[in-house]
Amino acid sequence: MGKYLLKLPKMGESIAEATITNWLKEVGDTVEIDESIVEIATDKVDSDVPSEFHGKLIKKNFEVDDVVKVGEVIAEIETGLKENNETKIISEEKEKESITEDIKKMTSEEIEITSVPSLELLKNDENNSEINKSDKFFSPLVKNIAKKENISQQELLSINGSGKDGRVTKQDILSYIESQSTTADSNYLSESNSSLEDQIVELDRMGKIIFDHMSNSKKISAHVQSFVEVDVTNLWEWRDRYKATFLEKEGQKLTFTPLFIDAVIKSLKDYPILNSSIVDEKIIMKRSINIGMATAVENGNLIVPVIKNADHLNLKGLTLAVNDLSNRARTNSLKPEEISDGTYTVTNVGNFGSIMGTPIINQPQVGIIAIGVIRKTPSVIETNNGDFIGIRKKLILSHTYDHRIINGSIGGSFVKRVAEYLEEWDMNQII
C-alpha cells in the first residue's frame, strides 16, 4: 500500500502559513478523491484542504489551533497505489518536477534592475514585545486579527483561551471583540439623547483587509496616472448585434467587461513590462497573463477574482469566465486559488456611473486600468469630404502604474494601445 502525504497547498504569494481550525476526518476514516480533510484559516481567507486520492486517513500531524507552513505535511493517507522504495507516490514526483520547472522559469523571468530604489516595507515591531516574552502562544491568525482590531498586547494576554494548552483561538478573539463592541455600543446608547448623534460603524473583516491592502499599496508604489478618451461606437454596435444571440445560445449575458479585458490582454503582450511584479529590487516578468477583475459584492466591498491564463482564452471563453467568477464572487463561493496570483487588474468603474477613476495598484502588481461609463458625446468626425459633428459613444480609460519601473512613456503608450484595440474592433468577428 502506498501513502499520500497531504500538504498545505500554496494559497497566494503573500500567504506563508495557516492555522488548523477543524478536522473534518479522523484517523481511520475513509477519504474520497476531492473530499475535504481539514479546515484552515489565514489572515485573508478561510478554506479547506481536499485529498487528491482515495484511501484511509492514518495519521494527523497537527491539532486544531496549530500553525502550519505552506508545504508542510498535514496528514498521511493510505492509498491503494503500489508503494515504491521510499513510500512516496506519484504526486511527490510531480511536485519535484513542478519545483524544478518553477526554478527554471524564475531564472529566465527574473531581471535585476539596478535603478529601482530600495523597497522599505513595513517592519514588524513584535521583537522584544510583551507577547514574545510571555509563555502564551498566539497564532499568526490571532495576531493579525488583534492588529487589525487595534487590540493591545495587554488585552491579548488577558483573553482566556479555549484551545489546546489555553491557546487563544480565532473564535476566542472574535468573541472578545464582539463583547467589547457590545459594551461600547451600550455605553454609547446610554449617553445618547438625540437621533442626530454620529453613527459609529465598524469595518467588517473583508473591509479591514482592503483597508490595510490599499494603505500599504500607496506606501509601497509610486502611483502615476495616464488617461485617454476612447470611441467605442463600433464596439457598442457589435455587442448590440450579438447580445441576444449569445443569451439564447449560452444562457448568459454578453457584457462589455470581457471585451475590455480582451483589449487589455493584447496590450499586455505588446508591453510585457506591465505584466510583472517587483520583489527584492528585482522585476519578475510573468509568463502567464492572469487578469484580476475587481467585483463589487453586496456588502459594498470589492473582491478581485482572477482569470488564470486569460491569454489562452478566446472571446467566448473570456465571457464565460467573467460571468462565472463574477457570480460566485457575489455569492461568496470563490476558492482561495481563484483570488490569488493575478498579474494585472481591470476595474470597470463605469458600472457605478463613474466617468473615470484613479484606482490603487493591487500589490505586488505594477498596473491597473479603470474603465469609465460609456456616454453619448458630440464629436468631430473626419471624412474625405471634410469634418462633421456627430454623436459617438465614448469612454475614458484611466491607467495607474508604478512609476518606480514604469515611466510615463510606457504607461501612456500602454493605455493608448488598449484604446486602439477597442476603437479598431473587428465588426466581422463572431462570438
In the chain, domain spans: 2-88, 130-202, 223-423
Q: What does the pLDDT read at residue 45?
A: 66
pLDDT at 270: 97
What contacts 202, CB < 8 A, 6 or more positions away? 181
Q: Which of 235, 273, 289 is nearest to 411 (CA)?
A: 273
* Residue range 202-254, pLDDT digits in tens: 777 667 777 877 888 888 888 999 999 999 999 999 999 999 999 999 999 99
Nearest to 205 by CA among 294, 157, 152, 141: 141
What residue has cell string 473582491? 303
**Strand boundaries in 291-374, DSSP class E:** 291-293, 295-296, 302-303, 306-307, 344-347, 367-371
CATH number of 2-88: 3.40.50.2000, 2.60.40.290, 2.102.10.10, 2.40.50.100?
2.40.50.100
67-69 and 55-60 beta bridge pairing: unpaired
The residue written with cell numbers 482564452 in the block is 313
- Measured CA to CA, the distance from residue 135 to residue 133 in angstroms comes to 7
Find where cell 521583537 sits: 127
pLDDT at residue 369, as a whole number: 97
Order of strands across the sheet that contains 46-50: 46-50, 36-41, 17-23, 67-69
Which residue matches cell numbers 468577428?
Answer: 429
Common-topology check for domains 2-88 and 223-423: no
Task: Return the pLDDT at 121.
Answer: 35
Q: Which three cell numbers stand for residue 278?
A: 517587483
- The predicted pLDDT at position 14 comes to 61
- At the fourth CATH level, which superfamily is domain 223-423? Chloramphenicol acetyltransferase-like domain (3.30.559.10)
Cβ-Cβ contacts under 8 Å for 343 (sequence gap 6 or more): 275, 276, 277, 286, 288, 289, 290, 291, 292, 365
The torsion angle over the Cα atoms of residues 86, 87, 92 and 94, rounded to 10 degrees, is 80
Residues 6+ apart with CB under 8 A from 62: 20, 68, 74
| Torsions phi, psi for 219 (to 5 deg) | -75, -30
Q: What is the DSSP string of 363-397?
A: TTBSEEEEE---EEEEEEEEETTEEEEEEEEEEEE
Cell numbers for 206: 473583508
Contacts of 383 (CB under 8 A, 6+ apart): none
> Tell me, what's the pLDDT at 115?
41
- The whole-number pLDDT of residue 346 equals 97
Flag residues of the chain having pLDDT under 50.
84-100, 102-128, 188-192, 194
**What are the phi and psi torsion angles at 101 (to 5°)?**
-65, -40
Report pLDDT for 196. Answer: 65
